[in-house]
């Protein structure tokens, strides 16, 4: 009965999503397509990059007249559920984005994605990419994706005009950051814009506190169950305490735990000068370039501050060196053409257009002329460790637990109890 219920749930969700992709036919009278179809999913919320993808598709179709590409643009958070349904119903798109990490590993384990090593080795194509980015989709058995959508790290972006008007300087440590927050509050500004309904945005603060307090090994040991690592380690508890220090200071807007990132709620607070700062992935720059280009020159950026007495290197960052990677479903009937389409997404023309859109393409030595994106790349190059997002690194069940518990910490949950719950769920998952 439980198994039947699960199947029904999947079918209900699938029907709500109107299928995994449109097949171009309506009823029996629909004209059969004359061209072969490739389905491409993309999740770039900013239309500047969607235009780049559309141009790549157009150029591919122009040079491959026997094919048409069905490009579906899906909101980031909806996409995660959508792809799960596609896997469950065996209706995978030909080409689709991933974040590497545990989800991609699951697709590999069930044979759901194509090993691209033979394609990447042709004409030494793999040498085109940033080595750290390519490593994120490479294991001992092959290469499972192509880095396409950005070298991304989380940084604090701020309104230079507000900082200048209040004579604030970029904080070097957490105590200085708290002083800035206090001054901003006194002058009627929201210190940090934050839309935390889906929790991964708030998770950035938590991840940085863990790293600055204890360094990368704390999470690595807990996640990989080594060196007696655990999620109820005092570092995770202290990280939650520091999150709540910010909440109790009024660092975030009212109702932040219900605000939506995909809708641009946090960015709008910066655009209208209500908020002074945002902790965001560097895709923020591309969003601004498209949504509000007049605001772009007003943006400053600095790394997440150090914590006095913390063991983490203040040059460490969190992010993803290749956000997003694109994989090919093993169910595709046109794998070679799907890879050809993939190449158009990150060829020289696309690279230049992505740079103009404010992205840092994951290729070697991108020619960046914009000072802000060049500064982001400099932070990446100097970072001794780039911590992959927890919610993408962890297996799906543990990822869901992390996000839910982090959001609860922002809402007032006892950090010690949350840390213990995370450890209990992890032990159950690994049956320890």
> Tell me, what's the pLDDT at 77?
77
> 366-403: string of b/e by CB count within 10 Å (b at 16+)?
bebeeebbebbbebbeebeebbbbbbbbbbeebbebbb
Looking at 12-16, 35-39, 291-295, 349-353, which range is the least confident one? 12-16
> Tell me, what's the pLDDT at 323?
77
Instruction: Count the alpha carbons within 13 Å of 109 in the hemisphere toward its beta carbon.
Output: 7
Q: How confident is the model at residue 2 (pLDDT cuts 50, 70, 90)?
A: very low
Residue with tokens 């230079």: 160
- With a cut of 60, say whether residue 98 has pLDDT above it: yes
Pairwise CA distance, residues 246 & 411, whole Å: 12
Pairwise CA distance, residues 356 & 350, whole Å: 10
Helix (H, G, I), strand (E, B) or coil at 1: coil
Q: Where are the domains of the chain?
A: 17-24+32-150+322-362, 153-319+390-429
* Non-local CB neighbours of 49 within 8 Å, separated by 6+ positions: 149, 286, 354, 357, 359
Q: How confident is the model at residue 4 (pLDDT cuts 50, 70, 90)?
A: very low
Sign of CA dihedral 127, 114, 95, 320: negative
> Tell me, what's the pLDDT at 103?
83
Beta bridge partners of 37: 68
Q: What is the pTM assigned to this prediction?
A: 0.85
**φ, ψ at 235 (rounded to 5°):** -65, -40
Beta bridge partners of 36: 67
Fold type of domain 17-24+32-150+322-362: D-Maltodextrin-Binding Protein; domain 2 (3.40.190)
- pLDDT tens digits for range 164-192: 999 999 999 999 999 999 999 999 999 99
What does the mean pLDDT of the chain come to? 91
Pairwise CA distance, residues 151 & 376, whole Å: 9
What's the mean pLDDT in 358-370? 93
User: Cis (ω within 30 of 0) for the bond into 324?
Assistant: yes
Which is more confidently placed, 138 or 6? 138
> Tell me, what's the pLDDT at 102?
85
Fold type of domain 153-319+390-429: D-Maltodextrin-Binding Protein; domain 2 (3.40.190)
Q: How confident is the model at residue 30 (pLDDT cuts 50, 70, 90)?
A: low
Q: How confident is the model at residue 75 (pLDDT cuts 50, 70, 90)?
A: confident
What's the mean pLDDT in 128-152? 93
Pairwise CA distance, residues 357 & 132, whole Å: 23
- With a cut of 70, say whether residue 31 has pLDDT above it: no
Contact 223/401 with Cβ under 8 angstroms? no
- With a cut of 90, say whether residue 330 has pLDDT above it: yes
Whether 17-24+32-150+322-362 and 153-319+390-429 share one fold: the answer is yes
């Amino acid at each position: 009965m439980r198994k039947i219920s699960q199947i029904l749930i999947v079918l209900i969700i699938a029907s709500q999503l109107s299928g995994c992709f449109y097949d171009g036919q309506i009823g029996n009278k629909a004209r059969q397509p004359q061209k072969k179809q490739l389905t491409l999913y993309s999740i770039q919320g900013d239309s500047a990059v969607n235009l780049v993808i559309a141009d790549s598709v157009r150029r591919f179709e122009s040079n491959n007249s026997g094919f048409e590409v069905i490009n579906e643009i899906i909101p980031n958070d909806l996409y995660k559920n959508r792809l799960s349904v596609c896997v469950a119903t065996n209706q995978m798109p030909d080409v689709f984005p991933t974040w590497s990490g545990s989800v991609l590993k699951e697709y590999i384990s069930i044979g759901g994605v194509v090993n691209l090593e033979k394609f990447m080795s042709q004409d030494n194509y793999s040498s085109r990419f940033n080595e750290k980015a390519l490593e994120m989709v490479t294991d001992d058995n092959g290469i499972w994706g192509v880095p396409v959508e950005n070298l991304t790290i989380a940084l604090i972006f701020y309104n230079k005009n507000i900082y200048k008007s209040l004579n604030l300087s970029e904080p070097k440590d957490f105590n200085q950051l708290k002083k800035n927050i206090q001054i901003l509050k006194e002058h009627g500004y929201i210190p940090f814009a934050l839309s935390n309904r889906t929790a991964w945005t708030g998770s950035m603060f938590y991840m940085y506190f863990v790293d600055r307090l204890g360094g990368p090994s704390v999470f690595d040991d807990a996640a990989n169950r080594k060196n007696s690592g655990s999620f109820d380690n005092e570092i995770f508890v202290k990280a939650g305490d520091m999150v709540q220090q910010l909440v109790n200071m009024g660092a975030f807007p009212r109702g932040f735990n219900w605000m939506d990132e995909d809708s641009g709620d946090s960015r709008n607070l910066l655009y209208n000068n209500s908020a002074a700062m945002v902790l965001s992935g560097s895709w923020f720059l591309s969003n601004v370039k498209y949504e509000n280009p007049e605001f772009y020159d007003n943006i400053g950026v600095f790394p997440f501050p150090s914590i006095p007495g913390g063991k983490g290197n203040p040059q460490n960052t969190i992010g993803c060196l290749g956000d997003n990677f694109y994989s090919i479903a093993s169910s595709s009937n046109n794998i070679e053409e799907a890879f050809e389409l993939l190449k158009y997404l990150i060829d020289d023309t696309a690279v230049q257009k992505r740079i103009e859109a404010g992205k840092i393409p994951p290729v070697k030595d991108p020619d960046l002329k914009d000072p802000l994106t060049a500064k982001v790349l400099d932070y990446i190059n100097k970072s001794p460790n780039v911590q992959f997002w927890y919610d993408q690194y962890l297996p799906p069940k543990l990822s869901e637990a992390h996000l839910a518990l982090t959001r609860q910490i922002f809402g007032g949950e006892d950090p010690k109890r949350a840390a213990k719950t995370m450890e209990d769920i992890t032990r159950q998952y690994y049956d320890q």
